[in-house]
Structures are given as structure tokens and as C-alpha cells.
Amino acid sequence: MIETLDSVSHPQNQDMHNPNSDLTVLYDTQPYTAYTEDLEFMWRWTIYRDHTLIQEGCSLTLDASKRSVKQVMAFFNMKSQNNKAEQEL
């Protein structure tokens, strides 16, 4: 199940990735965390797995960023479930 957090800011995570920006957490379920930041001309979103950047992109609006992250996370979660099923065989 995909859990998205609507505009929840985590200041302790800001210093970890980019100390000069206001990051908004879009997704936070281990091992994945996704953030977005307003660059005034676009929204940049990043997805981390175990604190390692694995996907990034940009959108014109915050809502578009949320949709993009949701779609990418659905793919990653589906891929993860398929890998677990293959390992059980």
C-alpha cells in the first residue's frame, strides 16, 4: 500500500540532502523516502532507498509531483513484490 504524506515537512531531514532548501516529505515507508522542493519555476522531487538517491524528476506543480512519486513508488513496490515471489519459488 502506498502512503503519501500531504505537505509534511521534516526539518531533521533537510540537512541530510540539501541544507539550503525546504523539503517536503511525499512518501516515507522503509526503505523508501521521497521529497519535493519548490524551486519557484518547478517542483523537483527525489526518491531515496536507504538514504541513496535512486530516482529524481521535476513537475510543474506540487500535485503533479505527488502523482509522479506515487506512480514511481507503485512501480518500485510492484517490482519488490515480484522479486519476493520469485525468491520464494
Cβ proximity of 31 and 51 under 8 Å: no
Between 87 and 15, name the one with better pLDDT: 87
Domain that holds residue 75: 4-88
pTM of model > 0.75 = no
DSSP SS3 for 50 = coil
Q: What is the pLDDT of residue 10?
A: 42
Q: Would the pLDDT of 38 be above 60?
A: yes
Q: Comparing 34-43, 49-58, 67-76, 77-86, which segment has the lowest mean pLDDT?
A: 77-86
Cβ proximity of 35 and 24 under 8 Å: yes
